[in-house]
Chains A and B, each alone.
Chain A
Amino acid sequence: MPAISTASLPDIVFMLLFFFMVATVMRDSTLMVANTLPAADQVQKLDKKDRVMYIYAGKPSDRYQDKFGTQPKIQLNDKFATVADVGAFILAERASKRQELQNVLTTALKVDGETNMGLITDIKQELRKVNALKINYTTRNGDYMQNLK
């Protein structure tokens, strides 16, 4: 019996590879802040990745603590930012999206559980000023009592 030709094996593998390269469009910004999200159970999924803008906040992770201190900070894309930069960031993100999506964008606040509300309130105030009113407090899926230990 003639041996099965394996000449097309690389082609199959390349197809799988291209699938993964396309399906996981990763704007993978390295997280420079500690980010243990709190738990909640009344959650809804955030699956429309192209309609979400991410704002991270928390204490800088150990590697950055000597340079940036231990106070909670905001991280936008790959850099630390102050509260005043949030407005400009939202407008820039909104401008980079397609016309039809510009009014249905959600801002995902991925904030560490130990952060103080003062910073969060400032962020929310900036979001209100740029009319980014749809927000999502990103959490793990779990019982809310875990937050209180």
Chain B
Amino acid sequence: MAKRSAPEVNAGSMADIAFLLLIFFLVTTTIETDSGLNRKLPPMEDVVDPPIIKERNIFTVVVNKNNDLLVEEKPMDISELREAAVAFLDNGGGKGEDACDFCQGARDKASSDNPEKAVISLKNDRETDYKVYIAVQNELVAAYNVLRNREFARLNPNLGLSFVEADRRYSDPRTSTSEKEALKPKLAEVKLLFPQKLSEAEPSKTN
């Protein structure tokens, strides 16, 4: 039997179909990367007896349900928080084995001994707005970063990077492993000088 070849399908519109699908995907999907403040929560099993911390080594920050700030029992505007936190951390009022030789602060005896003992305690009310909480967290993290930038630049003047930039390069997947290996101990050193001791208390419920 003579077999006629089936008539060929015109494939001229295949390109149009492909373009349509492509435009659909371009429009409905995004390759967006989120960014945000990285924090670490404390583990659940708490220390049996919290070590006794001297009152001068704690920097209390309280936010109430009206989004007002109370720093060290005195009302403060949020724009001053970063400076106050830096002054507290950098104070270096300790003597003898508690002395801090890299601190450039006022060395006030009523403020922290050295950055390792300095604890910032944050307490908020259940009715506080989340965005105010973020603003406060941002300023406290900024205070640590300002001091860490200074120390990193002082210890590694040849690199020409701040701590934040070096940390960003360390986390960037595009940096070479050898550069990451070189950066790692330098970053760790500065983190030890100014450890992030930020404790958050259970929020109160004021009526």
Contact = CB atoms under 8 A, between A and B. Distances in A.
Contacts of B134: 38-40, 113, 137, 139, 144, 147
Interface of A: 6-7, 9-10, 13-14, 16-17, 20-21, 23-24, 26, 28, 38-47, 106, 108, 110-118, 120-121, 124, 127-129, 131-139, 141, 144-145, 147-148
A30 to B, nearest CB: 12
B145 interface: yes
A20 B129 contact: no
9 contacts: A20-B29, A44-B35, A115-B129, A116-B128, A117-B133, A127-B41, A131-B43, A133-B43, A139-B37
A133 B127 contact: no
A141 B33 CA distance: 12
Interface stretch (B18-26, B112-120, B182-190): B18-26
Contacts of A114: 129-131
Contacts of A20: 22, 25-26, 29
Contacts of A145: 78-79, 135
Interface centre among A128, A138, A147, A148, by most B CB within 10 Å? A147
A117 B173 CA distance: 34
B132 interface: yes
A39 B31 CA distance: 21
Contacts, number: 166
Given A38-B135, A124-B41, A138-B34, 7 more contacts: A10-B14, A10-B18, A24-B25, A28-B29, A44-B38, A117-B128, A148-B67
Contacts of A117: 124-130, 133, 203
A44 B171 contact: yes
Given A26-B29, A117-B126, A147 B132 contact: yes
Interface centre among B34, B126, B137, B164, by most A CB within 10 Å? B34
Interface residues of B, number: 55
A58 to B, nearest CB: 9
A144 B14 CA distance: 51
Interface string B91-104: 00000000000000
A9 to B, nearest CB: 5
B85 to A, nearest CB: 12
B15 interface: yes
A40 B132 CA distance: 11
Interface centre among B35, B132, B141, by most A CB within 10 Å? B35
B139 interface: yes
Contacts of A138: 34-36
A139 B15 contact: no
